[in-house]
């Protein structure tokens, strides 16, 4: 895997970029519902505030996180896992907003994965200087389901590699409204986000939000 982007084509006016087998970037796919997504993020965060979690190794993450859906991803000194309740509030994670579900279903279908119904959405909040190192999403029960990742706010550089950490990594620029979907042969490919650069976005200020929608249970 080399270069920045691969094959691109236009479908119904939108740009569809193939990153690898079973991995697709849908440029601007979330723009029609971006305001509704941001409003829903605020509602979720009111009930389950953003927090910087600690890894099993004791390092505090630079990205602030919260969750919605029937399962929420978390990390602490005990390990990585999904929980039904928010350990910070003791209450169940907020319900998945309909706008999240509808976008995930439509984007997954356009990428070749029809019938996707996520039960977990990890919401990441990046501020300048935050980053997410290369990793695999492998805490889910069944890898048969794809992952849908939605970018909002400041632009970022997404890293997309292969099943082995030493595989070549593509650097993919993402902007407000972009959606990346991967599953099938690409489901366990490594991915991450390079350090977020300083900037100002009219919709989010000095912030980037990312929604990662998964079928966890």
Query: pTM of the prediction?
Result: 0.93
Confidence of residue 4 (pLDDT cuts 50, 70, 90): very low
72 assigned to some structural domain: yes
Q: Answer yes or no: are the C-beta atoms of 150 and 210 closer than 8 Å.
A: yes
- 71 assigned to some structural domain: yes
pLDDT at residue 9, as a whole number:
55
Residue 81 domain-assigned (yes or no): yes
Specify if 4 maps to a domain. Answer: no
Query: What pLDDT, on the 0 to 100 scale, is given for residue 12?
Result: 47
Report how many domains make up the chain: 1
Task: Give the integer Cα–Cα distance in Å for 7 and 68.
Answer: 34
Domain assignment of residue 119, given as a range: 31-142+152-160+191-214
Q: Is 127 exposed, middle or buried (0-12, 13-18, 19+ CB in 10 A)?
A: middle
pLDDT at 14: 62
CATH number at residue 44: 2.60.120.590
The reply to whether 176 falls in a domain is no
pLDDT digits (tens, 9 = 90+) for 159-184: 999 999 999 999 999 999 999 999 99
Q: What is the spatial distance between Cα 49 and Cα 148, in angstroms, rounded to a whole number?
A: 22
Is 70 exceeded by the pLDDT of residue 2? Answer: no
Question: Beta 72-76 vs 120-126: how paired, if at all?
Answer: unpaired
Question: Considering the domain boundaries, does residue 43 fall inside one?
Answer: yes
Q: What does the alpha-carbon distance between residue 68 and residue 84 come to, in Å, rounded to a whole number? A: 10
Quick: pLDDT tens for 33-58: 999 999 999 999 999 999 999 999 99
Domain-embedded: residue 14? no
């Amino acid at each position: 895997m080399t270069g920045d982007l691969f094959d691109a084509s236009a479908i119904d006016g939108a740009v569809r970029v193939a990153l690898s087998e079973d991995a697709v970037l849908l440029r601007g796919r979330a723009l029609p519902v971006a305001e509704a997504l941001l409003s829903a993020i605020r509602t979720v965060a009111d009930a389950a505030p953003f927090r910087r979690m600690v890894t099993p190794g004791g390092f505090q993450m630079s990205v602030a996180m919260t969750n919605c859906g029937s399962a929420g991803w978390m990390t602490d000194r005990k390990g990585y896992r999904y929980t039904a309740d928010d350990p910070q509030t003791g209450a169940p994670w907020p319900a998945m907003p309909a706008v999240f579900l509808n976008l995930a279903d439509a984007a997954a279908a356009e990428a070749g994965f029809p019938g996707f119904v996520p039960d977990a959405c990890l919401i990441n909040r990046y501020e300048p200087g935050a980053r997410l190192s290369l990793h695999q999403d492998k805490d889910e029960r069944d890898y048969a389901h794809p992952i849908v990742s939605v970018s909002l706010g400041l632009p970022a550089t997404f890293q997309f590699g292969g099943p082995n950490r030493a595989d070549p990594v593509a650097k993919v620029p993402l902007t407000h409204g972009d959606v990346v979907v991967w599953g099938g042969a690409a489901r366990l490919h490594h991915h991450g986000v390079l350090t977020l650069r300083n900037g100002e976005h009219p919709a989010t200020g000095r912030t980037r939000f990312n929604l990662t929608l998964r079928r966890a249970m």
